[in-house]
Amino acid sequence: MPHHNKSTNLCITAITFIIIVVIISCSKNSDKPAPPGSNNPGGITDTTGTRDRKVQVSCKLVDNAGYPLPELYVKIASSGSVPGDFQAESDSSGLISTDIYINTSYILKVYGAKDCISPIFTKSFSTTTKDTSLGNLTITGVTMARVTGTVVDCNNNPVTSGYIVMQRDTKDHQYKLSSAGTFNFSTSLCDVASSAMIIIVGQDLATIQTGYPMSVNVSAGGNNVGNLKACFDRSTDLQFLSYIVDDTIYRSYIAPANTISQSVNPTGNYMYISGGAGITFFAYGIAEGSSQKLQEFISPEVSGSIGPLELPVNVRITEYGAIGGYISGNFTGQVQQHFDNSPPRKVTCSFRVKRSE
């Protein structure tokens, strides 16, 4: 089985890319000693300085009814002499979890979005030498923009099985469509007078089609965007890589928010598609309408490659332009994980990427 260093590197890149539940940015200069006045807990000799010792702080952001508030932006700033700001974003359960310095006073501020100036919630707290849980924090006054619409296929029929993808602040959020092809999701804003630019993309799982991204400026209250097509034509510059694992786990990467690349090995026998996941397939006599044997699929959910299964998995090439043009394809089949000898995983995948080689 051929192995390509791009594919190996991609496995690490893909894992880093997908796990975006919490984003942490630390301002740290560990070669400086702790500033005068730093607390030293009794019985503990801090030889590296306060700024080199951390504990975990966690909390859940919820509304008045106790429901989680995802995608809220949080800043945790020192209120004392130890510098250093920490940033995070609440995940789908409202959870915030990050490492900060011991024996330090902090101010936690919650914002409706990353670019907001004024916080909607503020809380002071201090750390010790142990992990700190702030419990549930009830956040009021969150301004929401509700986005509704319908995803249709190439024939303008409602997509009965699919997703709407929202891109905001370079992150993707997926929402499942109803059986009538409708979607209804909300995203937070800074305040009632503000708005936010988001990108939405319709995706049809039945035909493995991804539509062209639509930019929408949403404001407080309801925002109906009408029909959105999960269909593309060859005149667009759309690039994407979407896949489903075991009919349950769904991921999509759409350029230019995420980088997707194409390359071939020196002999020209294998082609590589990279972007959030890695695909390797044969390239013998590759052309539009051809079927190429899948050699490898790697993603954060599938830690292996195609194995000696009874039936080969074929990648159907549906578009094959010249260099600078686009290659599109899709496949469905069983992928054998070779690291832990676990059962094969069913993978359905489609892609479109600009050819560089």
User: Which helix (H) or strand (E) covers residue 292, if one does?
Assistant: strand 291-298
pLDDT band at 83; cut points 50, 70, 90: low
Mean pLDDT of 202-216: 87
CA dist 245 and 332 (Å) reads: 10
Higher-confidence position of 2 and 238: 238
Closest Cα partner for 279 from 237, 232, 333, 208? 333
CA dist 313 and 58 (Å) reads: 44
> Residues 123, 124, 128, CA angle at the centre, nearest 5°?
130
Q: Mean pLDDT for the chain? A: 82
List 187's β-bridge partners, or say none: 145
What digits encode the pLDDT tens for the residues 21-52?
Answer: 333 333 333 343 334 333 333 333 333 445 56
Backbone angles phi, psi at 281, to 5 degrees: -145, 160
Say if residue 256 is preceded by a cis peptide, omega within 30 of 0: yes
Domains parsed from the chain with CATH numbers: 20-30+49-138 (2.60.40.10), 143-229 (2.60.40.1120), 236-354 (2.40.160)
pTM as predicted: 0.69
CA dist 215 and 175 (Å) reads: 17
> Edge-to-edge strands of the sheet including 182-189?
182-189, 143-152, 221-229
Residue linked to tokens 């997707």: 260
CA dist 78 and 125 (Å) reads: 10
| 132 pLDDT above the threshold of 50 | yes
Residue type, 113: A
What digits encode the pLDDT tens for the residues 150-192?
Answer: 999 999 999 999 999 898 887 778 899 999 999 999 999 999 9
CA dist 66 and 64 (Å) reads: 6
> Residues 34, 35, 37, CA angle at the centre, nearest 5°?
110
- Can you give the pLDDT at residue 255? 77
Strands (DSSP E) found in 169-290: 171-176, 182-189, 195-204, 209-210, 214-219, 221-229, 239-245, 249-255, 261-264, 270-274, 278-282
Between the ranges 169-183, 213-227, 255-269, 291-305, where is the mean pLDDT highest?
Answer: 213-227
